[in-house]
Structure 1
């Protein structure tokens, strides 16, 4: 609610994403939900839509999954996104391939590093990619929400940049006030 413009929401799976988008009320004019079959041209269409909706003064909720087209590689130029919510951590599901990779990495780098190198760090890297979507230039600013308590646990926290300051918060009203204050104090700087 506090974001003056478009908000992106990223989740670990399309099933969870669909649940989040359909079960919650989003105070936006339009919702765009990424599909697994999107190509670059569809992503470009979304960028054009975001620009048109912003010019018309209408908010859009953009919803996608970690590791997919909208959360990695799309340049939301000119401050198109005012906020991003990262819901959960995209931990790879257990399986033969994942177990084999963990065993290989464990033999090569030590068992203590196998979980980090094969599970936690890849998941956090995808979250970091999504976190960076709204900040594409020097004048951009955004509120970034990490909606998973595991981000505060040492085994995950050490995978994030050491200078990243997280503000743990569980009160929605407090979060809204914090976001409103942020948007008041940190205006978007127009890009030339």
Structure 2
């Protein structure tokens, strides 16, 4: 609506986008839609009689698609369809039209389930109109194989965002983690001549000590062997400079294992852990443990509530341990995204692996490390725990002011 108003009135719009490193994921989400067959089945039993016929037609089309997917020899749990399922999309459009007509004829009727279905159906059919190589059409089967979820999943949002950049008078994107430029320029559809400015950090190099644990691997197959060395490194740092620290891990399981090992070896050091599904009050209690002059180690998951957007200046936080490259989970969806990006992005931007796993992972690493130095008076330390942090191609993606470069690292 806002875009339509700017076009209607000829406004010269200036766009200012903070935390722009999140824009790729958020734009993908905006241009992704899904519908669960179970939801449609439930709606058939509760919908008004006039809607039963179009919903039954949709259910039959969905069953036919599931049967077709089961008979083609591909993985039944998850598969990318070679094209849009025209029969199902046509039935979905008819069902959405029928629901829209019904709601127009009964304006005083409030049916949240019907309205929710309508919004999702309209979003999905709208995405289908612009479907192309920039997106995937995938089908995820339930465990019993009887139902599925249909998803139109955006991979490259550039075709959707490009016209919006062109319509704006100017656009300025801000973030401390927009490396590498080519990745964001290509996936966001920024103009070829977009100016790119790497502003010097307001902090001095001497404010932050960076240490790379080249002797530890946090890869899945080395996870067991890494627990004790990581706990020992945290203990040694805390003994050398007692204070408040955050330790980040790739999963709650990994977090719990290292935290347990650390507590067993250092019972004198206070420990608090991030838990699954913490309430706002519990999150506030976690952060309240970081008091000025305090000491202890908070264990958290990288990419979670405590690795971005929190402010613990002074000696409320004096260091961080990051025991992961933050790479997203390898699963069928991410692997399909990787394969699609291998065919879509330019060589200058990187490989499909870089765009799907490495760049997003290191963004989370830099955001977490950024919790340590918050003011010109802060002094702190960051331990990057994984031998891969020693690779030149990885160090090149880390902040310039850290002083790691590509030729040397501590």
Whether TM-score is above 0.5 comes out as: yes
Secondary structure of the residue aligned to 1:75 is coil
Give the 3 Å change call, closer, same or farther, for CA 90–26 of structure 1 in structure 2: farther
Tell me if 1:38 matches 2:274.
no
Structure of higher CA gyration radius: 2
The residue number in structure 2 matching 1:72 is: 308
CA contact (8 A) 1:29 1:59 kept: yes
Displacement of 1:26 in angstroms is 3.5
Equivalent positions of 1:171-186 (< 5 A) are none
The residue number in structure 1 matching 2:380 is: 142
The residue number in structure 2 matching 1:180 is: none
Structure 2: gaps of 5 or more residues: 1-238
The residue number in structure 1 matching 2:260 is: 22
Secondary structure of the residue aligned to 2:402 is coil
Give the 3 Å change call, closer, same or farther, for CA 75–93 of structure 1 in structure 2: same
The residue number in structure 1 matching 2:394 is: 156
Tell me if 1:101 matches 2:341.
no
Distance 2:260 2:409 in 1: 26
Kindly tell me the number of residue pairs found equivalent between the two proteins. 165
Q: Bigger CA drift: 145-154 or 74-83?
A: 74-83
RMSD of aligned residue pairs (Cα, Å): 2.1
Distance 1:50 1:150 in 2: 30
CA contact (8 A) 1:3 1:83 kept: no
Q: Show structure 1 runs of 4+ deviating over 3 A.
A: 26-29, 166-169
Give the 3 Å change call, closer, same or farther, for CA 85–15 of structure 1 in structure 2: same
Displacement of 1:110 in angstroms is 3.3
Distance 1:100 1:84 in 2: 33
> Normalising to structure 1: TM-score of the pair?
0.76
Structure 1: gaps of 5 or more residues: 170-192
Give the 3 Å change call, closer, same or farther, for CA 13–141 of structure 1 in structure 2: same
Distance 2:344 2:280 in 1: 37
The residue number in structure 1 matching 2:324 is: 88
Q: Bigger CA drift: 119-128 or 152-161?
A: 152-161
Distance 1:143 1:124 in 2: 18
The residue number in structure 2 matching 1:48 is: 288
Distance 2:273 2:389 in 1: 25
Which structure is richer in relative contact order (CA contacts within 8 A, separation 6 or more)?
1
| Deviation per residue, 1:49-71 (Å, 9 max, x gap) | 322xx45xx41111001001111
Q: Bigger CA drift: 88-97 or 121-130?
A: 88-97
The residue number in structure 2 matching 1:118 is: 356
> Normalising to structure 2: TM-score of the pair?
0.37
| Deviation per residue, 1:59-86 (Å, 9 max, x gap) | 1111001001111222213431111111
Give the 3 Å change call, closer, same or farther, for CA 99–165 of structure 1 in structure 2: same
